Structures are given as C-alpha cells and as structure tokens.
Amino acid sequence: MGIKVFRPTSAGRRGMTGYDFSEITKSTPEKSLTAKLSKKAARGNHGQITIRHKGGGHKRRYRIVDFKRTKMDVPATVAAIEYDPNRTCRIALIHYRDGEKSYIIAPVGLKVGDTVVSSQTADILPGNCLPLSAMPVGTIIHNIEMRPGKGAQLCRGAGAAATLVARADKYAQVKLPSGEVREILVNCKACIGQVGNTDNENVYIGKAGRNRWKGKRPTVRGMSMNPIDHPLGGGEGRGKGHHPVTPWGQPCKGYKTRHNKSTDKFIIKRRKQK
C-alpha cells in the first residue's frame, strides 16, 4: 500500500494525494457476497433530516464481511485482496476448503495464497482468528468481539490495532488504539495482526468535490450565520468567548455523551485521564 501524489494540473489537484492500489488484485466484487445499499439521505422515518451534512455520494453495493468467523477449524485460502467503498480498510476474499466463500478484513501482511483459519489452536499469524484465552500476552490484534458470538466491534478501521496486555480468570485486558484499557471476556474472539491500509490517514482530499463523492455535504460555520439561525451568529466582526454549540444550543466539542454506566466497571484505564 502506497500513497501517490497527483501532478498540479489544477488548483484542486495541487497537493492532492490518493492510493496507488498496488495491493488490490481483483477489481469487481464477488456478486454472491454483495447486497443492496439504499441511500437514506440522513433522514428519519418521517422524511426529516436527522443527521446534517450527509447526502448524495456515489452509488455502492454493500460487501458482506464475516465479522463472526464461526466456521471453526476449516482452513481457507486468500483468493483476492479487494477495495471496499464502504470502509477505509481493504477486504480479503477467502475460499474455504469445503467450497464456501467469504470476506474478511485484510490485515497487514496478508497476501493472495496465504491460509487463514478460525480455531482454538490456530497459529499466531495475520488473519487467523482465536479466542483471547488462546493468545499469548502481548499479541497485536484487531476485529475484537465485546460479547461472545456477537461479532467483531472493536478495531475494524484502517491501521487500527489493539494489544492484549493481561489475562486473569474470566477477563482479558486489551489496550485499544485510543489508549483505553478495557476488560473483555476471554472467550471473545479476535483476529491476529493490524488492520491494513495503514496510509489511509495520510491521504489529502485536495478538493471539496472529492468529499461530495463520499456523500459528505458542505458544513457552514455557526459564526458566519445570522443570530436567528445559530447561537453563535451575528455581531459586528468576529465574536469571541463563545462555547462551541449546535444550532439548538447543545455543546458539541468535548461534551461527554457516554451514558452507558453499566459497562463502566470494564474500563480499567480511560483514554483521557481525569
């Protein structure tokens, strides 16, 4: 995976970077593993916009990725590394020995022809899936379950990786990319390695139209609006001393939105120390 720099043939191209797609080996998805992905235009069931700044974008098909890895002790061969327009990482098409096909998240180092397996006794190699109880302490992991059998929920984006730092009795302690250390049941599964496409964070968009292709609509600053439209609007000159809020007065930077106190006991170390 590499980053290519475009020639400055226009103002939008100047400084723009993109992927070189050198790791991609197949340009069309496996038809049996795709599904319709209809656009909702960020609207609720009453047709009103409930999430601002979303809409439009290129038409896509959803790739059905196997986050549960429930096919135990059946080896699979990596047939292709593919681009997925719905996520920042790459996906790998695998063919199981019994003929079934599936998509998984492609970790760093996984190549066409490699063998992956989901097993209690699998080797510690990129792409293999094991329960946390079967991994040595210090293993780099991704695609981590939070409840046994629910499927991976943590560390699924490009370049993400967590570390298994300790294990005792029913729980393992996992250090997440944010710095948070969290207890997770040892019978939850995780995959070995770091999620691929690690250069994703280095891509420079370059122009507004490229964000429109992704379905991101323009965002207007509150300070540039009239007082009737936003709490920060109006005034002669630029205003000072305001706390960032939404048009409805809700704090929007640094405002704590976590209300799930029932799982606070599983957080050993928070990402932001008080």
Examine residue 74 and state whether it is found in any structural domain, yes or no. Answer: yes
The stretch 30-57 carries a mean pLDDT of 92
Q: What is the mean pLDDT of residues 36-62?
A: 92
In a domain, 90, yes or no: yes
Q: Which of 87-96, 158-167, 235-244 has the lowest mean pLDDT?
A: 235-244
- Identify whether 235 is part of a domain: no
Residue 68 in any domain: the answer is yes
pLDDT score for 1:
65
Dump pLDDT digits (tens) for 117-168. Answer: 999 999 999 999 999 999 999 999 999 999 999 999 999 999 999 999 999 9
Q: Could you tell me the CATH number of the domain that includes residue 119?
A: 2.40.50.140
Q: Is residue 266 a part of any domain in this protein? A: no
Domain that holds residue 115: 3-201
Q: Is 208 part of any domain?
A: no
3-state secondary structure the chain: CCEEECCCCCCCCCCCEEECCCCCCECCCCHHHEEECCCCCCECCCCCECCCCECCCCCCEEECECCCCCCECCCEEEEEEECCCCCCCCEEEEEECCCCEEEEECECCCCCCCEECECCCCCCCCCCEEEHHHCCCCCEEECEECCCCCCEEECCCCCCCEEEEEEECCEEEEECCCCCEEEEECCCEEEECCECCHHHHHCCCCCHHHHHHCCECCCCCHHHCCCCCCCCCCCCCCCCCCCCECCCCCECCCCCCCCCHHHHHHEEECCCCC
Stated pTM of the model = 0.91
Model confidence pLDDT, tens digit, residues 54-71:
999 999 999 999 999 999
Residue 40 placed within a domain: yes
Give the number of domains in the chain: 1
pLDDT of residue 274: 57
For 183-230, what is each residue's pLDDT tens digit? 999 999 999 999 999 999 999 999 999 999 999 999 999 999 999 999
Position 32 in a domain: yes
